[in-house]
Chain A
Amino acid sequence: MAFQILLQLTITGLAWGSVYACIALGFVLIFKSTDIFNFAQPELMMFGAYMSFTLVTHLRLPFLLGFLFCLVLMAVIAGLLEMMVVRPMVGEPVLSVIMVTLGLANVLRGCVGLVWGYEELQFPSPFSQEPILLFGAAINQAEVFTILATAILLVIFFLFFKYSGSGISMRATAEDTTTAFLMGINVKRVFTASWVIATVVATISGVFLASFTFLEPIMGFTGLKALPAIILGGLDSIHGAIIGGLIIGVAENLAGFYLEDYLGAGINEITAYVIVLIVMMVRPYGLFGSKEIERV
């Protein structure tokens, strides 16, 4: 029985971890190509989930169509936000840039509260509620699909960055913006593209998160746990972000079950932050991050 519980917790943890990994991926993508740390990422995830909720429940679109339509809408919104709000801030001090994205997060959270209210909403999950039995452990189908979808998404991204022209120009911009600009890469378009991609990934993860939990404005704080994931992995490492997300997802689920008796209820809510504090004491650049060399 103990093994079944462990398996169940691990798979739930991996599902949450995949969600964190997707948000973290968006964070790292934007950070690498534009040097902007986007605190509005969790809110964009939440906004995307609410948007597809409306498209599917109120406009009665079939789930897949509504979902795709929502991705397009979110991509347009992200592009506009990047051009209007974020682009004027490129090159400003770190704190100003962060505060702009925090302001953006506030605006998005307020819009969600204003339009959809603060009550929990039941997301029309496309997955069957019947659990799958695996070695005697009952596993939620939505969680399995989340893990699979994230894995597929990550493979697609890997191929995109490795082989496609846009992917290579994005990597070049991430490496050195000025040089990329001089080589004839349209840096502005890369900036917008990174926001669009990050938002689309966040929306996908938001829809998955909503289908195995509820839809509520607190989702933004859940998404904020992607931050420890990034820091754990190292700020500028995409595979670090993914591994960090999975570690945090699994760790908080296991801690929530096994440590609850010793450390009190709700310990899973701060496991991520405790882990990040410990890692920062030992490795100030995360597990996979590169140490910056500064010139004075």
Chain B
Amino acid sequence: MAVTRFCTRTYRQDLRIFPSPAAKVALAVLILVLFCLPFFVGRYFVFVACVCGVSVIGALALNILTGFTGLISMGHAAFMGIGAYTAAILSAKAGFPFVPALLAAGLMAAACGAVVGIPTLRLKGLYLIVTTLAFQFIVEHIIYHWESLTQSDRGISLPPPDILGIKVDTYESFYYVIVVLAFATALFAKNIAMSRTGRAFVAVRDRDIAAEIIGVHLAKYKILAFIISSFIAGIAGALYANLLGLISPDHFTFNQSILYIAMIIVGGMGTVLGSIIGAIFMVLLPEFINAVSGPIASAYPGFSPRIGAVAVIVYGMVIILFLIFEPEGLYGIWVRIKRYWKPWPYTY
């Protein structure tokens, strides 16, 4: 064994999920705060927290595909839409209970992911981007025009979910379902990042030809990344559908896909914590804009139909500014802050 005092970590220690006891304490505090949150805040805030949770799951899914494996997808909202509509149709028309509908949503999205994944074996970079973009528009079109199944823009309303006989019909109770699933997803993503599969993903991202030469089965891992990512995205979509209670094609548009890419970029590409922070940030941003622009809109009623444009501009600016000035994202800022305080109170 090494005898130096500093930097002696075995591989086993390096592979732990929690690098230090402090991380465990922090996690425990976080769980406690999340558990108590609905008791102290208003109903609307709980709803926003639920949306945050769903977005966290969605962003983690995209992060596995884009951040870890480097396959850029502009069709993430399409996968979520497939999941959401599967869950909605199964529970509204076929009377499925919540859990089987959720699983079916994930499996349906995963099947579509596998189908999209196959042509990507030969596609790279921009060709892949435009292919996933095409997938996004085609799914959007099908959802909108297959009226007998999806009821087009009238939307499908879902019955309140019940889990093993317990009715979950308030935001407060559904909040716990979402938080548990978001935690499970984060743990899963963290685990996969440190497993053999995760290392294979990263190898494919960094240089796929080199990865193939050292023995990574390219086809297998690329399709696997698509399947895992779209499965989780499908579940996120199903949760979103159950949260809103009424879904329409507008919830899963191209702009949503861009929003998810923005989340993982603003948060920090290829990091689990980054996706979580990024998702929360991008959900809270429009809430913040609304809080500011709401009074302006009510003061100048003639202007109110155009006030939505402000949010669009702010979105765009946030993406541009982050990419130019902070390419590591919020996660990078967090790491810098942590490093700055590490030797505190001694500043050497």
A227 near B319 (CB under 8 angstroms)?
Answer: no
Q: How far is the CB of B84 from chain A (nearest CB, A)?
A: 20
Q: Is the CB of B324 within 8 A of A88?
A: yes
Q: Does A102 contact B (CB under 8 A)?
A: yes
Instruction: State whether B130 touches A284 (Cβ < 8 A).
Output: no
Indicate whether A107 sits within 8 Å of B309 (C-beta atoms), given known contacts A274-B138, A277-B138.
Answer: no
Of B159-167, B185-193, B207-215, B335-343, which stretch is located at the interface? Answer: B207-215
User: Nearest CB to that of A119 among chain B residues?
Assistant: B305
* Separation of A161 and B213 alpha carbons in the complex (Å): 41
Contact B141 A269 (CB under 8 A): yes
Kindly identify, within residues 17 to 76 of chain B, every residue whose CB is under 8 Å from any CB belonging to chain A. 66, 72
Instruction: Establish whether residues A296 and B209, one from each chain, have CB atoms under 8 Å apart when the complex forms.
Output: yes
Complex Cα spacing A118 to B304, Å: 12
Cα A30 to Cα B224 in complex, Å, equals 34
Taking CB as reference atom, which chain A residue is nearest B136? A273
Chain A residues with CB under 8 Å of B315's CB are 103, 106, 110
Select A94's contact among B125, B131, B209, B254, beta carbons within 8 Å.
B125
Task: State in angstroms the CA–CA spacing of A26 and B32 once bound together.
Answer: 54
Contacts of B317 in A (CB 8 A): 103, 107
Complex: A92 Cα to B269 Cα, angstroms: 13
Taken together as a complex, chains A and B put the C-alpha atoms of A109 and B254 apart, in Å, by 14
0/1 string, A263-296, CB within 8 A of B gives 1: 0111001100110110011001110000000101
- Which of B7-15, B227-235, B257-265 forms contacts with chain A? B257-265
Cβ proximity bits B116-141 to A, threshold 8 Å, 1 near / 0 not: 00010011011101110111011001
Partner of A99, one of B122, B125, B130, B319: B319
B95 within 8 A of A: no
Q: Report the contact-size class of chain B (Cβ under 8 Å from the partner).
A: 35 or more
Chain A residues near B210: list those with CB within 8 A: 296
CB distance from A293 to the nearest CB of B (A): 11
In the complex, A224 Cα to B258 Cα: how many Å? Answer: 14
Chain B residue at smallest Cβ distance from A100: B323
For the complex formed, measure the closest distance between the CB of A237 and the CB atoms of chain B, giving whole angstroms.
Answer: 13
- Docked complex Cα distance between A276 and B128 (Å): 11
A contact residues around B66 at 8 Å (CB): 95
Query: Can you name the residue of chain A whose Cβ is closest to the Cβ of B121?
Result: A284
B313 at the interface (CB under 8 A from A): yes
Is B93's CB within 8 Å of the partner chain A? no
Main secondary structure on A side of the interface with B: helix
Instruction: Identify B133's interface contact among A96, A107, A227, CB under 8 A.
Output: A227
Query: Is B294 an interface residue, CB under 8 A from the partner?
Result: no
Residue pair A100, B207 in contact (C-beta under 8 Å): no
Whether A243 is near chain B, meaning CB under 8 Å from some CB there, is no
Please determine whether B130 and A276 come into contact, CB atoms closer than 8 angstroms. Answer: yes
CB–CB B306/A111 < 8 A: no
Knowing A113-B312, A276-B130 touch, does A102 contact B141 (C-beta < 8 A)?
Answer: no
Cross-chain contact of B119 among A88, A118, A280 (Cβ < 8 A)? A280
Cβ of A131 within 8 Å of any chain B Cβ, yes or no, is no
Residues of B close to A47: CB separation below 8 A: none
Q: Are B316 and A105 in contact (CB under 8 A)?
A: yes
Q: Is the CB of B123 within 8 A of A103?
A: no
- In the complex, the answer to whether A231 meets B320 with C-beta atoms within 8 Å is no
A265 to B309, CA, bound (A): 30
A94 adjacent to B119 (CB under 8 Å): no
Determine the distance from Cα of A108 to Cα of B316 in the docked complex, in whole angstroms: 9
Query: Chain B nearest CB: distance from A269 CB in Å?
Result: 6
A117 — which chain B residues lie within 8 A by C-beta? 305-306
Q: A114–B309 contact, CB under 8 A?
A: yes
A137 touches B (CB below 8 Å):
no
Interface: B296 (CB within 8 A): no
B-side contacts of A92, CB under 8 Å: 323, 327
Contact status A114-B313, CB under 8 Å: yes
Contact between B131 and A277, CB atoms less than 8 A apart: yes
Q: Which residues of chain B have C-beta atoms less than 8 A from A270's C-beta?
A: 137-138, 141
- Other than A94-B126, A277-B131, give 17 A-B pairs with Cβ distance below 8 A: A37-B126, A100-B320, A102-B319, A103-B317, A106-B312, A106-B319, A110-B311, A114-B306, A114-B309, A231-B131, A235-B126, A266-B145, A269-B137, A273-B138, A276-B131, A280-B119, A286-B127
Q: Which A residues are closer than 8 A to B by beta carbons?
A: 31, 37, 85, 88-89, 92, 94-96, 98-100, 102-114, 117-118, 221, 224, 227-228, 230-231, 235, 264-266, 269-270, 273-274, 276-277, 280-281, 284-286, 294, 296
Question: 8 A-B residue contacts at CB 8 Å?
Answer: A94-B126, A102-B261, A103-B319, A106-B258, A109-B309, A113-B312, A114-B306, A269-B137
